[in-house]
Every structure is written in structure tokens, then in C-alpha cells.
Structure 1
Amino acid sequence: MIRLTWRQFRAPALAGLAGLALLAAYLVHLGRAVRHDQDIYLSRCRAGGDCARALAQFLGDYQNTLLYAAGLLALVPALLGMFWGAPLVARELEAGTHRLVWNQSVTRTRWFAVKLLVVGAAAAAFAGLASLLLTWAASPVDRLAGDRFSTIVFGARNIAPIGYAAFAFTLGTVVGLLVRRTLPAMALTALVFTVVQFVMPNVVRPHLMPPVTVSRPMTAEAINDARALGSLTGTPVVKGLSVPDAWVSDVSELRTADGRPLATDRFDHCFLDPPGTGATGTFGDAAVCLGRLDLHVRLSYQPNRRYWAFQWLESGIYLSLSGLLAGFGHWRIRRRVT
């Protein structure tokens, strides 16, 4: 059965190996370029130059490139689920070739389990190798940037992509088992996996471990350090607050000294028509006006030292979901598929 599975899987496997080889060549080239340029920028520091400026230039040279590479790697699990998982069973059910195997000595559950394990292991290995290469290439930039928890970066480093690939592949296989048509199964796999990948970082991940919560005074200087002020709905919020070596997972609305939310009309007055003071900074007079109101926010964050705990927890969730899907597929093919 393993030999039969391999013979059926040869063409997708060889295509995957070719793609992995191209990706590996690019990432090795990129990693060597990153390290070469890092040495150049560090030599400027040792020569008495402006280290902060040199390192900022180094980050600027590579952050966007690595962000695109991480986005590309984020597509890998979805593609594995669509092109390796969805057709695995759906194509056989669609063509009726499963009957030939089931009429031999191979049971349907063994047929399903071998297919799932052999091709699933290949999918996990593919994603793991791609993640290993990108993690190595990006490590000098990641150490300086300190944004390991950002949505795209977190999902493209270390062990998380292995869990994503295992889940996407198993999802595609079970969807194909249910739908019994290859193209609809591919489309549905992509849709469901995309929804799960949106929900995990935005809804689940912030609550995997209890965050550290602090109160931060919103002085004029603190407001000017924010990335944005206000929202489309007019809610009195500040966005883009940061904590050194941490991932900020939640920031409350602006609150007054007694803990109540700032009234919208007072926020609008400072934001839209602040008294002229000639202040500079990102928000200028608006920051000065709000800073005089003795405001604060409740800020929740996850320290970077918890990074590996989050990697293991999230990977464990995806692997557990994969196991549940595999168990459901085993039950379904034994009881319902004819």
C-alpha cells in the first residue's frame, strides 16, 4: 500500500521538490546577503559611526523583502492542502478507482490511513524545511527588529508552519472525502483554511496565555509616539503603542483619571479643533490638548520570552485539529463511504 501511494504521489512530490529547491536556492542567497550586509553595517559602528542609524538602514534594506518571503511561505500550507490534500481521496472517489483497491486485500481504513500518513508526512516535511530556511535567512534581522509576534512573521518561522501544513493537508483530505469532487474540494479547503488562519492570530492567539496588563499614562509625548489616533467610528482610541521586547495584544479606549471612557465630544474637540499651541510632533496640538486631560489606557502585552511557548501551543492546537479531522475521516470512510 505504501508503494502504491508513492506511485500515485510521485508527480506532485517531484513538483514539490522542484519548488522547494528553487525556494531553498533563493533563501540561501538571501541569507548570505543579509549576513554580508550586517557585517558591513557593524563595521561602520566599530569605526565610530552612528550605530543606530546604520542598523536602522540595515533593517530597512531587508524587512520588506523578508515580509514578502514570509507571505510566500504563508501560502505553502494552503497550497499543500489544495493540491496534495484535496485530491488525495476526492480524485479516487470521483473516478471510482477506490473500488479496485477495496476489493483486494487492503481495507478501506488502511487505504485511508496510509495515504494520510505518507503524504501528510511529506507535506509537514516540506513546510518544515521551508520554514527552517527562512528562519535561518531572517535571523539577523529578526534579532534586531524584535517583532517576532507579528502575524505574518510568527506564522513563517520555526515550528508553526509544520502545524499549519499538517492541518491544511488533513483538512483538504477530509473535505475531499466529504465533497467527492476535486475542484470544489480544493476551493473549499482554501476558504476554510483562510478563515482559520485569520481567526487564530486575531482571536485565539492573544488568549493562549494570560497577558501582562499595565496602565500607561497618555501624556502628549506618549500620544505622539502612537501610530494612529481615533478610528473610523470616532472611538477615542490610540493605535500602535509599543512595549520594548513584547507583543502588545490589546489597548483599551482612552480613559479619564477615574477609569471611565473619555467622552466622544471631548475627544473630537481635541482631535478636530484643538487650541493652537504651535506644538510639533505627530499629532501636534491634538496631543497637547489630550495630554492635559490626565488620560490613560489599559495595555495588555505578551513578553517576547514567551515566544516559544506560543509556538508550541499554537502548533499543538493545529496538530490536535489535524488529529480530530483524521479521526473523523477514519470514521466516515468506514461507515458512510460506499
Structure 2
Amino acid sequence: MTTLTRDPARKAPAGTARSGWRPRLGGPVWLVWRQHRAAFWTLIGVTLVGVLVMVHLRGQMMDYLATLDPTSRRSDGLPPEFEAYTDPLFSIGSYLSYIPVLAGVLLGAPLISGDLETGTAKLATSQSVSRMRWLIVKLAVPAVMLTLSAGVLTTVLTWWWHPVKGLSSSLIWTAFFSVTGVTPVAHALLTFTVGAAVGLLLRRTLVSMVVTLGVVVAMGFVWSELWRSLGHVMSVGTDKGVGPGAVQPELPTEAEQQGQGTYFLTSSGDRLDWTTCLDQVEDDRAHTACLESKHVIGWSLDYLPVSQMQSMQWLGAGIMLAIAAAVATFVILWGRKRLL
């Protein structure tokens, strides 16, 4: 019998020698792997190549840092040549931000729609495997592969970025928030399940991929606009006045300023918009009198500290994983009744 017809889960006869035994996939798991083995092997290959490239580039960067004087390893003391080692880091981080898009369009959308379009779903569920079991395995196997691949790539990127984070404006933590830690894995799983749901509903591979692309891009835009709201905005202020010679508040290291700019701080703790008394700014005395009448004592700035990065990532990942679980549940329940 050929490997296509032989049942991989069937046990060997009792007298068969086990010297050449090796673990084999069986049942629906083997079928899903067999169907999508090209995509899975591509995923494994890309992951291995990506890891090797990042490890090599990180080694070069660390060797260069080792040649620098410790006192120069600051954002204001690094030579221009350092950018040659950090530009690849930023570039590869940008490339990894496309993982959720590829997961939804190339892996999620064709997953079920392809089987519905070719009739494979009808063939698979007409055997001894139930629709629910087939759908669960159909989602689980690619999800595991995607989790391992995205997890490994983002872990290595995080390891590469960690020694130099904050050393330049391009390496600030907000630029790497969505491509390091647990966030990319959760985002990829979310887009993957959304793509699978679109494919189940539309039942046509090409149409599902196009629609999924639009949905995933929209999701990415929403995420880029809302992820900062996962953190707790903090403030820093001064009480030495706002006139000539007064120093504005200084943000903590690696903090990102929030809001539209600097606020006026009053003696009661209230804050006024920087446009307060702007109509009298041409007359210094009138402008100062206006601010004094409102009891302005200094400036205030809002910011997000780098210390909140991990908690924000886990909170965002938790929300995305919860939505992904809900979408996967919908796929299983809907597909159980209306798959064919």
C-alpha cells in the first residue's frame, strides 16, 4: 500500500521489529499535515532562516558594542556607525509586523474554504471522523505551527533588541511594542481564526483571501490606534512658574509623551490647555497677568513609561486571544451544522 492509502495510526503486527520505529502522526492530524505540508514546511524554513539571520546580526552588533567605551553607550554618545547595526534590527522588526497579515490571508483564509471548494471537506467528514473533530483538528494543527513559528521569531527579535533598546529614537520601546513579546503571537492567532471564519462563510478561496486581507488590515489599523490605551498614563509637572527661565518638566528615560503637548498646571492641581491666554501672547505683561489670574504655577506632561510595556503587551494579548477563542468557537459550531 502507498503512504496515501495506508492508515498511519494502525499498529504494527506484534512480531514486527521496533528497531526502526519512529513517531508518526495519525488520523485527522496526519490528514491536515498532509494537506498543508507545503505551507508548514515553508513556515519552518522561514523560521529557521530568520533565526539564523537575527542571531548572526545580533552577534555583529554585540561585537561592535564591545569595542566601544562604556561611557559612550548612550544615545548622545554613540557614533554614527552604530546605525549600521541598528538599521537591520528595525527593518526586520518591520518585516515581522506582517506576520498577522500573512497568517490570516495565506494560512487562515484558504484553510476551510479550499476544502469546501474542492469537496475535500465532504470527503473527510463522510468517513468515521465527525465534523466537530475535523474542524477542531483543522484549526489546532496550523494554530500550533503558527504559535511556535511566531513565538520563536519574536523571542529572538526581543533578545536582539533588548541590549540596545532606547539607545536611539528608532529603538524606543513603542516602535517594538507590537513585534516583541507575546503580542505578535496573539495577533497572528487572531487573524488566523478570522481568516478561517471568513473562508467558512464565503466558501471560495480567492474571495476569502481578498476579504480577509481587508479585514486584517483594518484590524491592524485599529490596533495601532488603540494599544496605547492599554497603559496607565502618568504625569510629571513643575511648580516654578512658566515665565522666562522656567524649565519645563523632563520625561523619564524611554518614556513616550502623550497628548497634544504641554499643559499649564494650576495651584489647585487642575490642568489647562496650552492655548490658555494664547490671544494675549503678543503682550508679555498681559499674557503673564492672564496666567496669574488663573493661578498657573507650572507645566505638566503626560507620558507612558517603559515599565508598563510588558503588562500592556499581556493585556493586549489576552484580549486578542479571547476574541480568537470566540471566533474559533463560532467556526466550530457554525461548521458543525452548516459545513456542507
Q: Deviations over 1:31-79 (max 9, x none)?
A: 1011011111236x4xxx7966543646544443322111100001211
Q: Deviations over 1:222-278 (max 9, x none)?
A: 9999xxxxxxxxxxxxxxx954243333345755868544559937x96xxx79xxx
The CA RMSD measured in Å over matched residues stands at 3.4
Counterpart of 1:266?
278
Q: Please state how far the C-alpha of 1:183 moved relative to its aligned partner.
A: 1.6
Partner residue of 1:97? 120
| Distance of 1:66 and 1:206 partners within structure 2 | 23
Matches within 5 A, 1:240-251: 242-251=251-260
* Paired residue secondary structure (2:157): helix
* CA 1:115–1:31: 2 relative to 1, 3 Å: same
Residue 64 (1) aligns with residue 87 (2): yes
Q: 2 CA distance for matches of 1:78 and 1:219?
A: 51
> Normalising by the residue count of structure 1, what TM-score does the alignment of the two structures yield?
0.76
**What is aligned with 1:236?**
none
What is the Cα deviation at residue 323 of structure 1?
Answer: 0.2
Task: Tell me how far 1:29 sits from its aligned partner.
Answer: 1.4
Equivalent runs, 1:183-198 vs 2, <5 Å: 183-198=206-221
Q: Residues of 2 paired with 1:163 and 1:51: CA distance?
A: 33
- Residue 195 of structure 1 aligns to a residue in which SS? helix
Distance 1:102 1:299, change over 3 A: same
Q: What is the correspondence of 1:1-338 to structure 2 with a 5 Å cutoff?
A: 1-42=28-69, 45=71, 53-55=76-78, 57=80, 60-142=83-165, 144-145=167-168, 149-150=173-174, 152-203=175-226, 205-215=227-237, 242-251=251-260, 254-255=263-264, 259-263=271-275, 266=278, 298-338=300-340
In 2, the alpha carbon distance for the partners of 1:109 and 1:127 equals 27
- Per the TM alignment, residue 144 of structure 1 is displaced from its structure 2 partner at its CA by 3.7
Aligned residue-pair number: 301
Q: Secondary structure at the match of 1:154?
A: coil
CA contact (8 A) 1:251 1:297 kept: no
Classify the secondary structure of the residue corresponding to 2:302.
strand
In the alignment, the residues of structure 1 paired with residue 321 and residue 307 of structure 2 have an alpha-carbon distance, to the nearest angstrom, of 23
Flag the structure with higher helix content: 1
Contact kept in structure 2, 1:177 and 1:329, CA below 8 Å: yes
Normalised by the length of structure 2, the TM-score is 0.76
Matched AA of 1:108: R
Letter in 1 for 2:233: P
Query: 2: CA distance between counterparts of 1:31 and 1:118?
Result: 32
Q: Deviations over 1:117-171 (max 9, x none)?
A: 0111101111111101211222221164596541x41111122111111111111
Q: CA deviation at 1:215?
A: 4.2
In 2, distance between residues paired with 1:214 and 1:25? 43
Identity of matched residues, %: 27
Indicate the SS of the match to 2:258. strand
Deviation at 1:100, TM superposition (A): 0.7
Cα distance in 2, alignment partners of residues 119 and 172 from structure 1: 12
Contact 1:220–1:290 under 8 Å retained in 2? no
- What CA deviation, in whole Å up to 9, does each residue of 1:179-233 have, x standing for no partner? 1111222222222222222222422x233243223446766789999xxxxxxxx
Q: Secondary structure at the match of 1:250?
A: strand
Counterparts in 2 of 1:321 and 1:223: CA distance versus 1, 3 Å: farther
Q: Is the 8 A contact 1:256 1:262 kept in 2?
A: no
Are the counterparts in 2 of residues 42 and 51 from structure 1 also a CA contact under 8 Å?
Answer: no
Distance 1:116 1:250, change over 3 A: same
Distance 1:222 1:131 in 2: 44
Partners of 2:97 and 2:179 within 8 A in 1 = yes
Answer yes or no: is the 8 Å Cα contact 2:166–2:254 preserved in 1: no
